[in-house]
Structure 1
Amino acid sequence: MTKPKPSQTLSWQDRSETQTAGWQSESGQPPPKNVVIVDDTTTADAAYWRACAGTAVLYQGDFQNAKQLLQAITRRVDRQAVKPVLTLLEAFHQLRSRQIGRANIVNKVLIELVDGKCPLNRAPDLQQAVEHALGETALPRLVLSLREALGMIGADEWRKKGVYISALKANIHADYGVYSPNRGEYLDLIHQASFQQASADSPNVAWDVGTGTGVIAAILVARGVSHVTAIDISPRALQCAARNFQRLNMQDNTSLAEKNLFPEGKADLIVCNPPWVPAKANTPIDQAIYDPKSRMLKSFLNGVGSRLNENGQAWLVISNLAEHIGLRGANDLLNWIQQSGLKVEEKLDTSPVHAKAMDQSDPLYEARSKEVTSLYQLIAA
């Protein structure tokens, strides 16, 4: 992967000398204006209160101690009182506010990389994980949050391991910043849905809008679709999908398109698994979950009909979690489908099996326990 080197820089004082390094933030946060050096003698309380006041702490010392400091700060953030709420909508907004506030504080713990390596004592080899996440930045010095660096390490391990997809009888590998297909129930719907065509043959041309890892496109190829165009606005996602297609020996049956929604031409089948929750996205990975004001969903519905060949079909895969929370009206989706000149030919439903759906301590458990994921097979009205 290639990615332009960070254009922003961070400066701080160390022993009365000004130090400067490139600044990396996955969420696009600007470099902090105030930075102080901390080490193994710094207490968690001192670092926590500095972070709460907006001052970032650049760690110099032992890497494992830095991790312990980060964990201690995180515990202090999580101990903040939860206000009583009356509705699931209030619970959702409070949860998102706490998540964002938590990230703002814990991301104030910084580390420096020199030539892609972390100079702290007992630091793991970060170079491969960082290069897979950011590409070769060509910067001799780079500062980023410790939390983000740990995320890169974890993502690199999952990238190498992959996620087993039963419909493919193979693993799909997610790069850093690309949403991993851990929730298999919606993929089962893609695998099970029948192709509603005049002939019994599989569609010749299909599009996977918002492809991510390329997992839906791969399932369609495995089901016999002659050619699938994997579409995404993110170059990082498209590179990830291309690697997965190559691993699965599907490169001759797939192509890539860097588009917001639709490429040129028409297709027999157009599939979209949009972000399910109409709320603000704060990081690139959030964009796989949150769709502000349902913009992508509405744009897909409004435009997909004119991109279908005769007897073509659109498959929309979406959960009703937003309806249970109160973020979307109970009839909004069906109304938008109808207003777009489409109708539902068939609808397949499944229940989630992920851990949060069973966790009664989750603030949104009442909504998650009732969630249904559906595949809407849409045709022209």
Structure 2
Amino acid sequence: MVIVAPEDKFISWSENGETCSARWHSEGGTPPPKRVVVADDRITADAAYRLACEGTALLWRGDFQNARQLLQAMARRLDRKPRKATATTAAAAEAFHLYRQSQSQRARTLGMLLLPFDDDYRVPLRRAPDVSQACVEAYGAAAGPLVASLRELLGLIGAHEWRKKGVEIPALGERIHPHYGVFAPVRGEYVDLVAAAPLPAGCAQAFDIGTGTGVLAAVLAQRGIAHVVATDQDPRALACATENIERLGLAAQVEVVAADMFPPGRASLVVCNPPWVPARAGSPLERAVYDPDSRMLTGFIRGLAAHLEPGGEGWLVLSDLAEHLGLRSRTELLAAFDAAGLRVVGRMDAKPTHPRATDATDPLHAARAAELTSLWRLGAR
């Protein structure tokens, strides 16, 4: 017997003259579609795209690989729409909001192609791969049949491969294995900054606030800091960081603890790499990128001085992308430091090397091309 939690939601559809239902699952928090039709290999891409745009979901009963091809065809139809690139800084904030609206609409439309899952996470379709391990890693133990979007499943499969192969971190000379829902350290410039910045004199203890995969805590431990406390409040991040620290043989130096921001006490070094863009997270999976109202950034700045040992430093690793998008000014950031009783000891900058920084077709190209990632070295006044 499956025990259904009160928060479980259900999706209903008509099939073979009967009304059917199943548990609905969406990691992004998308509500179950209100209109659902059964579809298979006979449907055309144009018809599927039209239904999805109208808000009608398609529960797939055909070949799994054909469903993947259909999703790609729907994506191509979305991409035919002209992309508006805005080059001026004054209009950058508007461009950003239009871009997010477009991405949200894209996710909603492509999320309308649905798959059934049996009670062991098996997809009962022709040529369907075994996705049970990817589902267990993301969803936890199976709890009965469900319906989820193909787009989400492909994300799970991709995350499973990242977790198996890991991400090469040159600063560590090792790989970090991100879990589903935990931000992968694919942008190496912020890791390199933490690996290169001069440590405070006599630094024996450090805090890594919002550790995620644990990559920065591992870098600090590898640099010789005897005790690193890595905090996070996301259960997935805590499990991911713990696994990575153990795999790297650093468990004797790094303590992973559940905490909202700071652990008790003080340290010679307190490091934080908060989400860089002050905007509302559209789903739980976006919380590593978007920091609504700069809550984590502000919380770190305001609480830092009280958690620094005399002569200690706080390292804030932050991109200035939000400044180029008109979402936060440098003046506001510096004023926040001053209001919290902090002084800037130094700053190190790095240019991003990811492909979007040089993609002239990206709607946010002007901002991305000008972006710098900085490590702000902060001390108490």
- TM-score between both structures, scaled by the size of structure 1: 0.94
1:233-244 alignment runs, 5 A limit = 233-244=233-244
The residue that corresponds to 2:373 in the other structure is 373
1:274-285 alignment runs, 5 A limit = 274-285=274-285
Deviation at 1:254, TM superposition (A): 1.6
Q: Deviations over 1:275-334 (max 9, x none)?
A: 111111112231111111212111110111111122221100001111111111131111
The residue that corresponds to 1:364 in the other structure is 364
Whole-Å separation in 2 of the counterparts to 1:157 and 1:370: 32
The residue that corresponds to 1:74 in the other structure is 75
The residue that corresponds to 1:144 in the other structure is 148
1:120-269 alignment runs, 5 A limit = 120-139=125-144, 141-197=145-201, 201=202, 203-269=203-269
Q: Deviations over 1:35-55 (max 9, x none)?
A: 110000011122112211211
Deviation at 1:28, TM superposition (A): 0.8
The residue that corresponds to 2:20 in the other structure is 19
The residue that corresponds to 1:32 in the other structure is 33
Whole-Å separation in 2 of the counterparts to 1:364 and 1:83: 9
Q: Deviations over 1:253-286 (max 9, x none)?
A: 1222222211222222110001111111112231
The residue that corresponds to 1:60 in the other structure is 61
Whole-Å separation in 2 of the counterparts to 1:30 and 1:361: 32
Partner of 1:288, secondary structure, is: coil
Whole-Å separation in 2 of the counterparts to 1:60 and 1:319: 45
* Pair 1:345-2:349 in alignment: no
Q: Deviations over 1:195-250 (max 9, x none)?
A: 123xxx3x222111111100000000001111111111210011011110111011
Deviation at 1:83, TM superposition (A): 5.1
Deviation at 1:362, TM superposition (A): 1.3
Partner of 2:330, secondary structure, is: coil
The residue that corresponds to 2:271 in the other structure is 271
The residue that corresponds to 1:93 in the other structure is 97
Whole-Å separation in 2 of the counterparts to 1:221 and 1:157: 27
2:114 corresponds to which of 110, 113, 127: 110
Q: Between Structure 1 and Structure 2, how many residues are aligned?
A: 373
Q: Which amino acid aligns with 2:156?
A: M
Whole-Å separation in 2 of the counterparts to 1:260 and 1:80: 42
Whole-Å separation in 1 of the counterparts to 2:307 and 2:143: 42
The residue that corresponds to 1:323 in the other structure is 323
Question: Is the 2:200–2:269 Cα contact (8 Å) retained in structure 1?
Answer: no
Whole-Å separation in 1 of the counterparts to 2:330 and 2:237: 32
Q: Which amino acid aligns with 1:348?
A: M
Q: What residue ranges of structure 2 are gaps of 5+ in the alignment?
A: none
Q: Which amino acid aligns with 1:271?
A: V
Q: Which amino acid aligns with 1:102?
A: R
CA RMSD of aligned residues (A): 1.5
Q: Deviations over 1:56-107 (max 9, x none)?
A: 1100010011011111111222223445756222221111110011001110
Whole-Å separation in 2 of the counterparts to 1:110 and 1:63: 11
Question: Is the 2:85–2:364 Cα contact (8 Å) retained in structure 1?
Answer: no
Deviation at 1:122, TM superposition (A): 0.7
Q: Which amino acid aligns with 2:175?
A: N
Whole-Å separation in 2 of the counterparts to 1:259 and 1:23: 31
Q: Which amino acid aligns with 1:345?
A: V
Q: Which amino acid aligns with 1:105?
A: T
Q: Which amino acid aligns with 1:176?
A: Y
Bigger CA drift: 298-307 or 46-55? 46-55
Q: What residue ranges of structure 1 are gaps of 5+ in the alignment?
A: none
Q: Deviations over 1:336-369 (max 9, x none)?
A: 1111110111111111111111111111111111
Q: Which amino acid aligns with 1:131?
A: V
Whole-Å separation in 2 of the counterparts to 1:300 and 1:16: 57
Whole-Å separation in 2 of the counterparts to 1:133 and 1:69: 24
Bigger CA drift: 60-69 or 129-138? 129-138
Q: Which amino acid aligns with 1:142?
A: L
